[in-house]
Structures are given as structure tokens and as C-alpha cells.
Structure 1
Amino acid sequence: MRPNIEIVNEEILSNNWYVLKKMTFKYQKRDGSWETQAREAYDRGNGAVILLYNREKQTVILTRQFRMPTYMNGNETGLLIEACAGLLDQDSPEDCIRRETEEETGYRVTNVHKVGEAYMSPGSVTEILYFFVAEYTPHMHTGEGGGVDKEQEEIEVLELPFGQALNMVENGEIRDAKTIMLLQYAQLNGLLHPVSKPQHILIAGPYRSNTGDDPVRIEANMRLMNEAALRVYEMGHLPVLGEWYALPLMETAGSRRIGDEIFERMFHPSAVRLLSHCDAVLRVGGPSKGADEMVSTAEAKGKRVYRDFDEIPVLA
């Protein structure tokens, strides 16, 4: 059902921090009659929130800071434990949450995965909040975090055992809705379950990129990726390269040189097909448009992306 709405008047009540409006409108009810109503709506823009988690340590990163509205409504200290979050401003949700994560927590994450979006207080606030999760590792730690001084932020970074965080929801120590939603998402989807079986890992790196099609440089790239695959294999997983499939198939199909019609038709699509059957991607080596596309596609599909061997769990 799509209700009929007619805006009668729009009045700005406050534009001090963000915009508070009084909206007067006519609303057509289900019986066909019209009713004039007035509501106040606070427009502070949209936001993004993220839960950082570490499978190996079984921990999550949260923050604690003073929130005046909670102090006004029963929170004796005004301090609130939350997942890292911020307003989009002019950024995309993904760019926003990467920026906020580094500013607030000191972790620089790139592989963020969107898990949903929601209106958080639809009776009075226009904001849509975009929800993300991301795996963090110690090598991603680039600074102390704590927020931005010019925005008057004073944020304490908390690294908590996942089980403790869930218990804090149960006993009321964590009362922030977005944080509770993300912790419950992590619990329901087993985000912190340790990897207990071999993963099928696609090795994504440069093949022709920046080689000028020099056979010696192409061979060096293949050697680099094969060495990465061997290391992954020795960690207990099943590595695969798109080149392992594509190159013999293209030769059998009649390809005679790099970049000919058969090469272009089969080379990149082979890796795309493989990706759908892989659990994760390991990005190695230097610049490569094709490898970066594999990473972006993997992230969009919610697959794990490793950028360092230290991120890969060792099973063997």
C-alpha cells in the first residue's frame, strides 16, 4: 500500500547543529478520508557502523564515549559502549566507515562487508544507518584512534572477548541498539567461528600487468604466484590460480600469442568462474587491474580477502 501524502507546510525549527523541521501534511487514510497531521523530523544525514572482529583471538573492537542524550535519560555516567560509527557527510557508506574506523579505533581496514541497513528511529529521525563487518588483524593497527580533536571526540578503544561482549548485552552493560544488532548478527552468522577446515583460496596477482608482454617478466610474475600458492598449501589450504586453468585450455583451443582473440575470451573469465567456487582470495604482488577486480568481486560476494599471509589461519 502506498499512501497518498500532500505536504502542506515545511517549517525549520532549528538549524543549529543539524536540521529540525516541522512537517504539516495531509494523509489519506484507508477509508479514503483525508486527515491533516503535523510531525517533527530531525535530519542529521545518514550514517554507517561497523563491527571489527578477529577469529584467531575471538575478540571484537568496540568504543566507549560520552553521550549527552543518554545522560539526560537515565545513564548515570553518560558513557556508552558502541560499535564504531559515523555520519556519511559526502562519502559513500564504504568510504565513510573506513575513515571512521581509522579515526576512532586506529585500525585501517579495506575489506568491509555490508550486512544491511536500517532506520534507527523512524518516528523522529530521518537517518538510515548502513551496517558493516570487517575482520581485523594486528598488522592493520596504524594508530591509537580515539577520534578527532576538532570534532571534540574523546573515544576509548575497547578490545573485548566476543563472549564477554555478548554477556554485556545480556546484563545491560551494552545498551546501544546498533551495537547489539551487529553483535547478534555476528553470533547468528558464526563470524567468529574459527576456520577448522581447508579453504579453497584463489591467488590473485599480476600476470601481464606492467610487463610489456615480456616473457621473462611474465614468468617472474607466475613464479611469484606459484610460490604464494605453495605457501598457502603448506598452511593446510587448497590454493588455485586462474592461470593454471586458463593457459593450458587456451593453448588447446588454439591461442597462439598473448592477447589474441582466444586469450581475451578465456583468460579473465576463467578466474571469475573459479572465484565462485573459492572460499577466499589472497592478493599478492604488484599492481594488477584483473587481480583488483577479483578482490572487489570477492568482497561484493562476502568472501574473505587476505592481503597478508599472517591473516590466513594455519591448519597444517
Structure 2
Amino acid sequence: MHQINMAIDKSSIKLYDCKDSKYIQIKQMSYIENGISKTWDIVSSHDSASILIHNIDNNSIIIVKQFRPAVFLRNNNGYMYELCAGLIDKENKTIDEIIKEEVLEECGYYAESVTKIAEFYSSVGTSGSKQSVFYTEVKNSQKIASGGGIDNECIEIIEIKVDEMQDFLKQDNITPSLGFSFMWFLSNKKAK
């Protein structure tokens, strides 16, 4: 799998107000509920898609590990295990095309077909963004690139044997969509 040096220079970290972002917008909404005036702060963000990748030749699941600054602020670590994922921010591409592109960029596999297994809202208290979760099966012959992300992304590719999935869920640095997808796979796809 794709191994990278994953080290954050903690002395380089600076925190400042976000004045302009291509990823989020900070808004405030006022409304009346049951006759009471209320105000709510919202972080408007793009919807996203993630995908559970099953390598059927190796009987393994392909996930990624990457640094998440917002998590780092909470626990001083920030490295998360997650599904391969991306923002739905390309107007000229379908969600299926976007997630297939992410599989190639992050994990190096050509995903011939993808199946949507769920769609839900995440961060409902702040952003309300929607995440679509997909599933795909790949073979070793479909590994056509090294993966690891594009531009300056630092993404480590992790391969987990299907028989080790249940134990892997005990970690505290996994995302909800990874946990959901692992449980979906164990309930619906794993040979019984």
C-alpha cells in the first residue's frame, strides 16, 4: 500500500479567523419556532461522497488515513481513518463520476461501477451537508496508479482484511461514514 511520511510540524501551526474560503461560508439564520424568535449559526459547505472499496482478490477493504486539522484542535492528533471521499463541487460531473475520480486519485484503482448504499446528513448542528456513501468492488488488475491524492494531499492508503474489520471499528479515530459502511458490509456483503 501507499506509505507516506505523516508528520505535522506542530511549531508551524497558527490559528486565525477565516475571512474567505472556497470550501465554507459562515452564515447566521433567524427564524421563529413555536412563536419564539431564534438565531442559529451555520457553516455552509459542499455536499460530499465517500466510497467503501472492496478488493475482491485480497478480500480486503481499502481505506485512507489523513490529517484533519479540525480534529487536531480537539485531540492534538488529527490523523483519521476514513473512506475514500471527495466534495461534490464539480458542476460538469455526476456524483458517480466524481467518486470514481476520487477512487483513482486517492487509492489508485479504476472503479468500473459504483453503487449508492446510503445518503445522510452530517454535522446537522452546524452545516447540514449531505453525504452519499457508495460501494465498489475492485481487483488487483484495476490498480492503475499509485494513489495518495493530488496536488499537496498527503493520503496514506490502508488495506484491512475483511476478517479484521470488526476489530478495526474499536479505534477512536474513525469517521462515522467508515463505521456505518463497515457495519453495512458486515451485514450485507461478507460471506456468512
Q: TM-score, normalised to structure 1's length?
A: 0.52
1:102 to 73, 87, 104: 104
Structure 1 residues 119 and 126: CA distance shift in structure 2, 3 A: same
Equivalent residues in 2 for 1:99-138, closer than 5 Å: 99-138=101-140
Given that residues 62 and 157 in structure 2 are in contact (C-alpha distance below 8 angstroms), is that contact kept between their aligned partners in structure 1?
A: yes
Q: How far, CA to CA, are the matches of 2:178 and 2:96 in structure 1?
A: 18
**Percent of aligned pairs with the same amino acid:** 23
Q: Is the 8 A contact 1:54 1:192 kept in 2?
A: no
- 2:65 alignment partner, SS class: strand
Give the ranges of 4+ consecutive aligned residues of structure 1 lying more than 3 Å apart after TM superposition: none
1:161-211 deviations in Å (ceiling 9; x for gaps): 1232321212x254211111111110111x1328xxxxxxxxxxxxxxxxx
CA RMSD of aligned residues (A): 1.7
Residues 70-115 of structure 1: CA deviation (Å, up to 9, x unaligned): 11111x4321111100101123221111111111000010210001
Partner amino acid, structure 1, of 2:106? E
Q: Is the 8 A contact 2:51 2:99 kept in 1?
A: yes
Q: Shift of the alpha carbon at 1:54?
A: 2.6
Residues paired across the two proteins, number: 172
1:49 and 2:53 are equivalent in the alignment: no
CA distance in structure 1 between the aligned counterparts of 2:56 and 2:107, rounded to whole angstroms:
18
The residue that corresponds to 2:191 in the other structure is 193
- Does the 8 Å CA contact 1:55/1:193 hold for their aligned counterparts? no
Structure 2 distance, partners of 1:141, 1:182, is 22
> Any residues of structure 2 matched to 1:1-316 within 5 Å, and which?
15-17=20-22, 18-27=24-33, 29=34, 34-74=35-75, 76-89=76-89, 90=91, 91-149=93-151, 152-170=152-170, 172-189=171-188, 191-193=189-191
Q: Unaligned 5+ residue runs, structure 2? A: 1-17
Taking CA–CA contacts closer than 8 Å with sequence separation of 6 or more, which of the two structures ends up with the larger relative contact order? 2
AA matched with 2:141: H
Question: What's the secondary structure of 2:169's corresponding residue?
Answer: helix
Q: Is 1:51–1:132's contact at 8 Å kept on the other side of the alignment?
A: yes
Q: Which amino acid aligns with 2:139?
A: T
Tell me the SS of whatever aligns to 1:164.
Answer: helix
User: Take 2:190 and 2:139, find their aligned partners in 1: how far apart are those partners?
Assistant: 13
Q: Deviations over 1:253-290 (max 9, x none)?
A: xxxxxxxxxxxxxxxxxxxxxxxxxxxxxxxxxxxxxx
Q: Which ranges in structure 1 are unaligned for 5 or more consecutive residues?
A: 1-12, 195-316
Query: 1 CA distance for matches of 2:97 and 2:67?
Result: 25
- TM-fit CA distance, 1:59: 0.4
TM-score after normalising by structure 2 = 0.83
Once residues 122 and 102 of structure 1 are traced to their aligned partners in structure 2, the CA distance between those partners, rounded to angstroms, is 30
* Rg larger in structure: 1
Distance 1:94 1:124 in 2: 26
CA–CA separation in structure 2 for the residues paired with 1:168 and 1:174: 10
**More helix as a share of residues:** 1
